[in-house]
Amino acid sequence: MRTYYLRALTWLALLCAVCSLTSCKPKKTTTPDVKKPGPAPVKVQTDIVKPDVNTVAPTPVTATSGSDVLVTVNGVDITQKQLDELLKPPLDRLAKQAANLPPAFLEQQMKLLKDQALQEMIKMQLLDEEVKKANIKITDDEVTGEITRMAALQKPPATLEEFKAKMEAYGYNYEQLKTQMQAMLGQQKLVAQKYPAEVKVTEADANAYYEQNKARYNVPEQVRASHILITPDLSDPNSDPNQAKAAAKAKTEELLKKVKEGADFAALAKENSACPSAAQGGDLNFFPRGKMVPAFDKVAFELEVGKISDVVETQYGFHIIKVTDRREASTTSFDQVKESLMNEVAQRKLRDLAMKYVEELRAQAKIVYPPGKEPKPAAPPVVPGGAVPQ
């Protein structure tokens, strides 16, 4: 689920940049991950709808040395300490997850994130000043309600407590989140007050967006399958891999015989499968074509509902697959997504208007950089391998 909370003006863009960096060169493994026996390798993406976590504008600093000040916005100092505190969680994650990247590339990306974050802090300061001038107040109920709504957008939907735990995993505590959400909602109200006619969204607007992006609402054919996975036992470094593989295949064939003789598939999966889905009796839920590794995928989509496969070999081991349900391809109707679409279109409008408003504010603002700290043109990106893109 996407969010559009002033995305160009918020921390979400930086978090996404960190996530994209940490997935550009997956860590190599010498053996398959038996905890993921079916799915094909995919680019790692976060499954959490992250709130905007830098919408708190910097506060005036009364006692800082000149070297600490990065920029002064209408008399308010933004300092190195504030920037470091803001960037610590994502930079820590980047450093840990991208340790295998070339040092020059990693250093350049960290500098890019810092430069982007500083510009976002300037924008937030400009908006925060206007929120205060407009005397806009956001209540605790509004903040909690919005965080609860965001939690419900998770896949699968999360409770408020589950969402708190997810955010803490990213290095942000709940009180910090509430403060930042309060600032974000204040900025949204500010933009809505500034452009009352432009922010209005009609059903016709949402329907037009739906028609322009109809491919997003096409639901592909899906099957629901359960499986039993038997993996070769390679725990002994002195063992013969071929013998281990033969033993795993023999065990899978023995289990298949029991299934065909009427044994309970789910019970056998719980007792024998090496996949985490064993706890659910081997159930993998619904999945579309291409979600699983090719050999598994082919068999699953060829089987009729209720049928059981022969032994299927993949890089994860040996599988017995049972298809339990099937959904034909379909298209989600406009009426089914109308409410969420109207919200999405509204957020897109707010984002675009906020960008326009910030540029107006920048043109009138007094933004002063200490000598030697003026923004410099970005250097050509260095990519892993040493090449410079043309």
Q: How many CB atoms lie within 10 A of CB 345?
A: 19
Tens of pLDDT, residue by residue over 361-375, are 999 999 999 998 888
pLDDT at residue 327 in the model:
95
Both tokens assigned to 164: 């708190």
Predicted pLDDT at 236: 87
Give dist(CA 322, CA 251) in Å, integer.
17
pLDDT in tens, 162-191: 888 888 877 777 887 888 889 989 999 999
Looking at the DSSP bridge assignments, the partners of residue 279 are: none
pLDDT at 19 over 80: no
User: Tokens 């999966």, residue?
Assistant: 269
- Number of CB atoms found within 10 A of residue 60's CB: 8
Residue-level pLDDT at 99:
64
According to the model, what pLDDT value does residue 379 have? 56
pTM here is: 0.57
**pLDDT at position 345:** 92
Given this chain, do its domains 7-215+333-368 and 221-328 carry the same CATH topology? no
The pLDDT value recorded for residue 39 is 37
Query: Which CATH number among 3.30.930.10, 2.60.120.260, 1.10.510.10, 3.10.50.40 corresponds to the domain 221-328?
Result: 3.10.50.40
Does 9 or 248 have the greater pLDDT score? 248
Sequence-distant (6+) residues with CB within 8 A of 209 are 341, 344, 345
In three-state secondary structure terms, 308 is strand
- pLDDT class of 16 with cuts at 50, 70, 90: very low
Percent above pLDDT 90 for the chain: 55
Which of residues 358 and 7 earns the better pLDDT score? 358
For residues 12, 14, 18, 23, the Cα torsion angle rounded to the nearest 10 degrees is: 60
* Percent of the chain clearing pLDDT 70 (strictly above): 78
Q: What is the pLDDT of residue 254?
A: 97
Task: Check whether 84 has a pLDDT greater than 70.
Answer: yes
Answer yes or no: is pLDDT of 45 > 80.
no
Predicted pLDDT at 67 = 54
> Would you state the pLDDT for residue 129?
95
**Rounded (10°) CA dihedral 39, 45, 49, 54:** 170
Q: In 304-331, which positions are buried (b, 16+ CB within 10 angstroms) versus exposed (e)?
A: eeeebbebbebebbbbbbbbbebeeeee
Q: Which fold has domain 7-215+333-368?
A: Triger factor/SurA peptide-binding fold (1.10.4030)
Give the Cα separation of 18 and 13 in Å (integer). 9
pLDDT tens, position by position, 276-304? 999 999 999 999 999 999 999 999 999 99
Q: Where are the domains of the chain?
A: 7-215+333-368, 221-328
* Confidence tier at 98 by pLDDT (50, 70, 90): low
246 neighbors 233 (Cβ within 8 angstroms): no
Q: Which whole number is the average pLDDT over 259-288?
A: 96
CA–CA gap between residue 347 and residue 205 (Å, rounded)? 13
- CA 376 – CA 119 distance, rounded (Å): 12
Q: Is pLDDT of 109 > 90?
A: no
Give the model confidence (pLDDT) of 315-361 as tens digits: 999 999 999 999 999 999 999 999 889 988 998 999 999 999 999 99
DSSP SS3 for 74 = coil
Q: Which pLDDT value is given to residue 36?
A: 43
The CB-side HSE value for 29 (13 A sphere, CA atoms) comes to 8
Q: What pLDDT does residue 162 have?
A: 87
